Amino acid sequence: MKSNNSQQTLAQTFNLLKYTFVIVPIVAGADKFTNLLTHWEQYVNPSIASILPFSASVFMMIVGVIEIAAGIIVLKKTEIGGYIVAGWLTVVALTLLVGFNYIDIAVRDLVMAICALSMARISKIIE
């Protein structure tokens, strides 16, 4: 009986993580075009912004497309999408840490990366 209950709890936890990592990247990605939640350009490391061949605004729109795609991949291929999201969030966090800007956001993104990695690993036994 406990095994069945444990399996059900694991499945519920997995689904919570999965749909979080479907919705959040899609919403954040879409917001890169509207800046309703925040002005995303402020998070671009100035040293990176200075070498871009286009504006920080255009860069964030490209980021938005990538995030929307990542959310869709999580929905369709959770394991692969989880690894993509985990890697993406780690890169974002590292760029924030390099500039020593938005340390709170960097830490949050690293925690989210660990959650996405955990979801990807759990997907091997759930799906």
Q: What is the pLDDT of residues 71-113, one digit of tens each?
A: 999 999 999 999 999 999 999 999 889 888 899 999 999 999 9
Secondary structure tally for the chain: helices H, strands E: 5, 0
C-alpha torsion 58→61→67→68, nearest 10: -150
What does pTM read for this prediction? 0.90
* Cα separation, 2 vs 4, whole angstroms: 5
